[in-house]
Structure formats: structure tokens, C-alpha cells
């Protein structure tokens, strides 16, 4: 069964709206979670690394104020797309690892569509 | 800059035959490689991994081969089954830099019954 739960799976909203996406590890504690973005026919691009209890580490070119990440507990990380615009429409997916450098477990992703 | 490349966006194979999915990388510091399988509307699921100290890792019908000198890895599926139809991503990382993985663009495999 799924070990990482991501919610919602699909969001359609108007331009200017802020959208929050949740990522939960279901049966393990994840001190680190990862947020990716995927454009059509492109690879998963790492946006940021979410660290429990501290600030997220953002990849180059990712706006911190645009994509707010909060890792409030060992089982929950949230990504908020603030004042979303059509160019933010994409597939967002989170992952978590239960220990060290083990393979990451992925959520099912969130399809975000901004009208 | 795409550090991990999957040059074949799609592949069709007859059921029972071998499927070979290829992946190339540019960073010689990568020392850990994985293959993920993804069905539509679902997140990727881990399939098989290989460390740079090995050149082959086998798990049932799935075998991953690593050619470090060529910076190339491949996933072999034998025999291919219709349920194997999915998008396959390869990913690579450098262990010393943490848990960051670089993904290829994926290859869509269709196994024809």
C-alpha cells in the first residue's frame, strides 16, 4: 500500500489563488521530504528539500516566496503555491525517505491547473 | 542541463519478449542509480537499484546493468508482461551530496499481448 499520501490529487482554480498541497508519510517518520515538479514530457525536477523543524532548501531558480514549504512534523510537509498564475500549472509530486539514502517513496502527485 | 537522459520516449515490445530500457548520465560522480515505474495518475514506485560498485543487479524478471565507463545503465525485463506497460524513469544521485536524485524524462513501455 501507499506509504506516502499526497492531497489533493487535482486542483483547478482561478489565477491569484493560493493553493496548499499536503504530503504525508503514513507509516514512517520522514525527517526529509522532497518536492518535485514535472512539465509535460519532461523529467521530474527537484524544487526543494523540506527539512523537519528547519527551513527548506530550494533549488536554483525556484522562488522561495512563491513556493512556501512547511515541514511541521516528521510525517507532514506542505507546499503552498502563492498567488498562482497559469504558468504555475503543472504536476507537483512529493517524496520521502524513511532512512538515509534509501529509495524515495513518492506520493501520487497533484495536478494543478490555474485558469 | 539534463544530467540524466532517456533518449527513447517510447518502446513497444511483444509479450514474452525482452524489454530493454536505456539511460545515460553525464555526471561521473553519480554512484547510485534507480529505476522507477509509473502508472497514469499515480506516483512513481521504486523498482530496482544499483550501486556503482556493481555492474549488475537482478530481481526476478528485472535486471539493471551499469556501464560506468560509458555512463550508461539499462533495465532489462524478461519476459515482458502486459502489466509492465508503464512509464519507466531512471534516476541517479551522488551519495555524498545527500538524497537529491536526478531523473530522466522517462520511457513509456507498451507490452503488446
Distance from CA of A17 to the nearest CA of B (A): 24
Residue B105, chain A, CB below 8 Å: the answer is yes
Lowest mean pLDDT among A83-92, B30-39, B91-100: B91-100
Which of B10, B43, B47, B53 is best to mutate for the A interface (most A CBs within 10 A)?
A: B43
* Model pLDDT, residue B96: 74
Q: Taking a C-beta distance cutoff of 8 angstroms, is the pair A109, A8 a contact? A: no
Q: Residue B48's CB: how many other CB atoms inside 10 A?
A: 18
pLDDT at position A1 over 90: no
CB contact under 8 A, A43 and B104: yes
- A43: nearest CB among B43, B93, B103: B103
pLDDT over 90, % of chain B: 80
In 3D space, the residue among A5, A42, A47, A36 whose CA is nearest the CA of residue A22 turns out to be A5
Q: In angstroms, how far is the first alpha carbon of chain B from the final one?
A: 38
Confidence band (pLDDT; 50, 70, 90) for A41?
confident
Chain A residues in contact with B95 (beta carbon < 8 A): 101
DSSP state of A56: P
pLDDT at position A8 over 60: yes
Chain B residues in contact with A101 (beta carbon < 8 A): 32, 93, 95, 98-99
Distances in whole angstroms, Cα of residue B1 to Cα of each of B10, B19, B27, B31, B99: 22, 28, 11, 19, 19
Chain B residues in contact with A103 (beta carbon < 8 A): 34, 46, 49
* Model pLDDT, residue B99: 66
In 3D space, the residue among B66, B61, B67 whose CA is nearest the CA of residue B111 turns out to be B61
Residues 50-109 of A with CB under 8 A from B: 93, 95, 97, 100-101, 103-109
* Model pLDDT, residue A2: 58
Please report the DSSP string for B33-102 in residue order: EEEEEE-TTS--EEEEEEETT-SEEEETTEEEEEETTTTEEEEEESS--GGG-EEEEEEEE-GGG-S--E
Q: Taking a C-beta distance cutoff of 8 angstroms, is the pair B112, B12 a contact? A: yes
Q: Taking a C-beta distance cutoff of 8 angstroms, is the pair A20, A80 a contact? A: yes
Distance from CA of B7 to the nearest CA of A (A): 12
Give me the mean pLDDT over the B25-54 stretch.
91
Lowest mean pLDDT among A87-91, B8-12, B42-46: B42-46
Which of A52, A93, A104 is best to mutate for the B interface (most B CBs within 10 A)?
A: A104
Q: pLDDT tens, B41-86?
A: 788 888 999 999 999 999 999 999 999 999 999 999 999 999 999 9
Return d(Cα A71, Cα A56) in angstroms, integer. Answer: 8
Return d(Cα B11, Cα B45) in angstroms, integer. Answer: 19
Comparing alpha-carbon positions, the chain B residue that sits nearest to A108 is B43
* Model pLDDT, residue A101: 55
Return d(Cα B18, Cα A25) in angstroms, integer. Answer: 35
Confidence band (pLDDT; 50, 70, 90) for A6?
very high
Q: In angstroms, how far is the first alpha carbon of chain A from the final one?
A: 34
Average pLDDT, chain B: 93
Average pLDDT, chain A: 89
Return d(Cα A96, Cα B97) in angstroms, integer. Answer: 16
Residue B39, chain A, CB below 8 Å: the answer is no
Confidence band (pLDDT; 50, 70, 90) for B1?
low
Give me the mean pLDDT over the A90-99 stretch.
86
Q: Which residue has the cell 514474452?
A: B16
Q: Which residue has the cell 553519480?
A: B30
* Model pLDDT, residue A104: 79
pLDDT over 90, % of chain A: 60
CB contact under 8 A, B43 and A106: yes
Give me the mean pLDDT over the A18-25 stretch.
95
Amino acid at each position: 500500500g501507499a506509504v506516502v499520501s499526497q492531497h489533493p490529487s487535482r486542483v483547478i482554480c482561478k489565477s491569484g489563488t493560493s493553493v496548499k498541497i499536503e504530503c504525508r508519510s503514513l507509516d514512517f517518520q520522514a525527517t526529509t521530504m522532497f518536492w518535485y515538479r514535472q512539465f509535460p514530457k519532461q523529467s521530474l525536477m527537484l524544487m526543494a528539500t523540506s527539512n523537519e523543524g528547519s527551513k527548506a532548501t530550494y533549488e536554483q531558480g525556484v522562488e522561495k516566496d512563491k513556493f512556501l514549504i512547511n515541514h511541521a512534523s516528521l510525517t507532514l510537509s506542505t507546499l503552498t503555491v502563492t498567488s498562482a498564475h497559469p504558468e504555475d500549472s503543472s504536476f507537483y509530486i512529493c517524496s520521502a525517505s524513511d532512512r538515509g539514502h534509501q529509495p524515495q517513496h513518492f506520493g501520487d502527485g497533484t495536478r494543478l491547473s490555474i485558469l | 542541463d539534463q544530467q540524466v537522459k532517456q533518449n527513447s520516449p517510447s518502446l513497444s515490445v511483444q509479450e514474452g519478449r525482452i524489454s530493454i530500457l536505456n539511460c545515460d548520465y553525464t555526471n561521473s560522480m553519480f554512484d547510485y542509480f534507480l529505476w522507477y515505474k509509473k502508472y497514469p495518475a499515480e506516483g512513481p514506485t521504486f523498482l530496482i537499484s544499483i550501486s556503482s560498485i556493481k555492474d549488475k543487479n537482478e530481481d526476478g524478471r528485472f535486471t539493471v546493468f551499469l556501464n560506468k565507463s560509458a555512463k550508461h545503465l539499462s533495465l532489462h525485463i524478461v519476459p515482458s508482461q502486459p502489466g509492465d506497460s508503464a512509464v519507466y524513469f531512471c534516476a541517479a544521485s551522488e551519495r555524498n551530496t545527500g538524497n537529491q536524485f536526478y531523473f530522466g524524462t522517462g520511457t513509456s513501455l507498451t507490452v503488446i499481448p
